[in-house]
Structure 1
Amino acid sequence: MNTLQAYAHNFFFNVYPYLCLAVFLMGSLARFDRDQYTWKSDSSQMLRAGTLRWGSNLFHIGILFLLMGHTVGLLTPHWLYEPFISPERKQVVAVVAGGIAGVVCFIGLTLLLHRRLSDPRIRLTSHRTDLAILIILWVQLTIGLITLPYSFGHEDASVMLALSDWAQRIVTFQPDAAGLVPLAWPYKSHLVLGMTIFLLLPFSRLVHVWSGFASLAYVFRPYQLVRSRRLNLPGGHNTPPARH
């Protein structure tokens, strides 16, 4: 690795993650504070519902499974799951489950992208950022699916352990990307593009994912008590308040 490659590697895997995380958090907060009316997904269901129903359901099911799987798979310490499952078997489970979810998500996203590009009315009402983020997600899913054959070629789970070690060092503020140097280009491209999606999220329609997480608070929200109020008038006559 020459000097330029070493510099780029250090930037993208030791510095870029924190830059993306800072923009992701601060940008989301700033948008919520300044432009709350844009905090939505801009549904086009009224223009064409059929393809949207299939595409949206498949995409959301797949992307939620992938997000949860990547988070748990990368950030779970090795010593925590080692008594129950070996790294090699864990990699097989991750590749099979992630592959199925990736294909489901890819089909749904392809339907959504085709819908926006093929329907003139939807294309005219779509923001450029809508199309851009769908294309970026489609490319990201494509690269993710390309990594599957590479993963089957590493039966010792060395790549999975290297990725997990890098991710856990990032979240514990001990960045060290040395273990990523020998990885194939699909892995590195997948990581960089994935971080870029978080960088762009506050400026796109994807910001509405925060609302999905926030809605979970309603499960633990106490019931709202509503009591009727009556006016006590002279003579013991109670009259309900006037309606406004």
Structure 2
Amino acid sequence: MEFINTLFFGIYPYVALGVFLLGSLVRYDREQYTWKTGSSQMLSSKNFRIASILFHVGIIMILMGHFAGLVLPYELWHALGITMAAKQIIAMGVGGFFGVLCFIGLTMLVYRRLFDPRIKATSSKMDTSILLLIYLQLIIGMFTIFISAGHMDGSVMYNLMSWSRYLLTLRPVEAVEYISSVHWLYKMHVTLGITLFVLFPFSRLVHIWSVPVQYIRRNYQIVRQKS
């Protein structure tokens, strides 16, 4: 068990990060024509807008929550007067709310991908696989809320934050020590999350790198009607 924990939570994250960064760079350099979202809205637009909005709002807020929960140091939370127990309650409430939004939108997108004949015919195996993997990851994440409800002292939250902290400071041995004792469902959630980084360069997820943030500061375009 110690070897498995070291492999998946001490070594695998660094391998995944390398594949994520190097793979994205190589794909952008060699296959720019494949660097796209591959939107299927033109093939079938029924309920697509609401499903896409729910999914994207939910997943973006969940990712921001994970960043705040795993990357921001717990000293910062203490400085703000938020204990680990209080932080866990916040994570359960906010994560649960946006998790439900994401689940509704993603369920609609999965159903559309699997059962709409036009969408299914134009979907690659990677398109379907990555969508189902995100769906599974979301479901497991939702189940961890119920596990968290069984221990409200914030200890698991502290262990996961410490694991992330030691990984980011290149101390994998100490990192593994903290995550070894958490529930297997958390470990599966973490493992699938890391796996998504591995698959990222080989899927349509690369479009995340191209989020059009420049539109926020772009000058307005004047569009005139035909006279």
TM-score (norm 1): 0.86
The counterpart of 2:4, out of the listed 1, 4, 8, is: 8
Q: Is the 8 A contact 2:54 2:104 kept in 1?
A: yes
Report what 2:120 is aligned to. Answer: 123
Give the root-mean-square deviation of aligned CA atoms.
Answer: 1.2
Structure ranking higher on relative contact order (CA contacts 8 Å, 6+ apart):
2
How many angstroms does 1:50 deviate by? Answer: 2.1
Q: Is the 8 A contact 1:113 1:134 kept in 2?
A: yes
Is 1:86 aligned to 2:83, yes or no?
yes
Equivalent position SS for 1:177: helix
State, as a whole percentage, how many aligned pairs show the same letter: 48
Report what 1:226 is aligned to. Answer: none
Report what 2:143 is aligned to. Answer: 146
Cα distance in 1 between the residues matched to 2:2 and 2:153: 27
Give the aligned residue type for 1:36.
Q
Cα distance in 1 between the residues matched to 2:194 and 2:47: 29
Q: Is the 8 A contact 1:51 1:112 kept in 2?
A: no
Report what 2:65 is aligned to. Answer: 69
- Deviation track 1:163-185 (CA, whole Å, cap 9, x = no partner) reads 00001111111122111122111
Cα distance in 1 between the residues matched to 2:214 and 2:132: 32
Cα distance in 2 between the residues matched to 1:161 and 1:20: 23
Equivalent position SS for 2:47: helix
Equivalent residue runs for 1:1-244 within 5 Å: 5-83=1-79, 84-175=81-172, 176-212=175-211, 215-217=212-214, 219=216
Equivalent position SS for 2:156: helix
Give the aligned residue type for 2:76.
L
Unaligned runs of 5+ in 1: 224-244
How many angstroms does 1:67 deviate by? Answer: 0.6
Give the aligned residue type for 1:43.
S
- Deviation track 1:105-143 (CA, whole Å, cap 9, x = no partner) reads 111111001001111111001111000001100100010
Equivalent position SS for 1:49: coil
State which structure, 1 or 2, has the greater radius of gyration over its C-alpha atoms: 1
- Deviation track 1:181-208 (CA, whole Å, cap 9, x = no partner) reads 2211110000000000011010001110
Cα distance in 1 between the residues matched to 2:215 and 2:38: 23
The 3 A distance-change label for structure 1 pair 139 and 178 is same
How many angstroms does 1:210 deviate by? Answer: 0.5
Count of matched residue pairs: 216
Cα distance in 2 between the residues matched to 1:174 and 1:14: 9
Cα distance in 2 between the residues matched to 1:217 and 1:73: 28
Q: Extract structure 1 runs of 4+ deviating beyond 3 A.
A: 217-221
Q: Is the 8 A contact 2:44 2:118 kept in 1?
A: no
Cα distance in 1 between the residues matched to 2:39 and 2:166: 38
Cα distance in 2 between the residues matched to 1:16 and 1:78: 24
Cα distance in 2 between the residues matched to 1:47 and 1:192: 34
How many angstroms does 1:218 deviate by? Answer: 5.0
